[in-house]
Amino acid sequence: MTDMREEIRYGPAPGGTRPSDAAKRLPFDPAALNVTGTVAICEIDHVPTDNTRPSVSVSIKQYVRLSDDSLIRLDMDRGFTTVRYGAGPVSWKRTTDDLIEEVLALVQVDDIDTPGVHPWDELAQAARRRGVHVDAATLRGLPYQVVLSDELVSLFEL
């Protein structure tokens, strides 16, 4: 068996770079990028401590995806808590379609007079506050993706 130190070799970095060359960063300018979609990322959130019944809280954070695949958070967070009643083992099993349908219902407008309407204007305004140039009509025509965390998929047995 060879000593590990015998297998390690050192040499200059490829491409002729010198260690004294500082890395250069370009400024991040969201106005220079195109919006390619809207994303809702769903994750397990903290469970309310005053709840004694089995419960799961889910946070829904909304983003716009830019052409460089970066995400800009829109601060239009939503969420829900599911509680189980009764005795016996607790199962959180749901179908993926049911969970995504609930997420899509929760991110709709809060106005009771217009149920089932997605808040494209609000999303566009939130994006513009972050320096992203986009309007509601553009967002409406782009994909809206719901992303479920691995922990959420495991818990809901999807």
Kindly report, residue by residue over 48-66, the tens digit of the pLDDT.
Answer: 666 667 788 889 999 999 9
- pLDDT, position 92: 79
Specify the residue for token string 């599911």.
Answer: 82
Asked whether the predicted pLDDT for residue 157 surpasses 80, the reply is no
- What integer is the mean pLDDT of 4-31? 62
Read off the pLDDT band of 32 (50, 70, 90). confident
Residue 91, number of CB atoms within 10 A of its CB: 10
- The span from the CA of 147 to the CA of 56, in Å, is 17
How many domains would you assign to the chain?
A: 1
In a domain, 75, yes or no: yes
Would you say 132 and 34 are in contact if contact means Cβ atoms under 8 Å apart?
A: no
In a domain, 7, yes or no: no
Q: Which residue has the higher pLDDT, 28 or 130?
A: 130
In a domain, 138, yes or no: yes
In a domain, 37, yes or no: yes
- The span from the CA of 59 to the CA of 151, in Å, is 12
- The span from the CA of 139 to the CA of 144, in Å, is 9
In a domain, 62, yes or no: yes
- Per DSSP, the residues of 40-85 read EEEEEEPPPTT--S-EEEEEEEEEEEETTS-EEE-S--EEEEEE--
- pLDDT, position 60: 93
Kindly report, residue by residue over 100-142, the tens digit of the pLDDT.
Answer: 888 888 888 777 676 678 889 999 999 999 999 999 999 999 9
Would you say 82 and 152 are in contact if contact means Cβ atoms under 8 Å apart?
A: no
In a domain, 116, yes or no: yes
Residue 121 DSSP SS3: helix
- What integer is the mean pLDDT of 136-158? 88
What range defines the domain where residue 91 resides?
29-155
- The span from the CA of 27 to the CA of 9, in Å, is 36
In a domain, 22, yes or no: no
Instruction: List the Cα angle 34/38/39 in 5-degree steps.
Output: 130
Would you say 57 and 47 are in contact if contact means Cβ atoms under 8 Å apart?
A: yes
**Tokens found for residue 40:** 């809702």
- pLDDT, position 10: 52
In a domain, 10, yes or no: no
For residue 112, give the amino acid letter: I
Specify the residue for token string 């009771």.
Answer: 112
What's the chain's Rg over C-alpha atoms? 23
Q: What percentage of the chain has pLDDT greater than the value 90?
A: 34
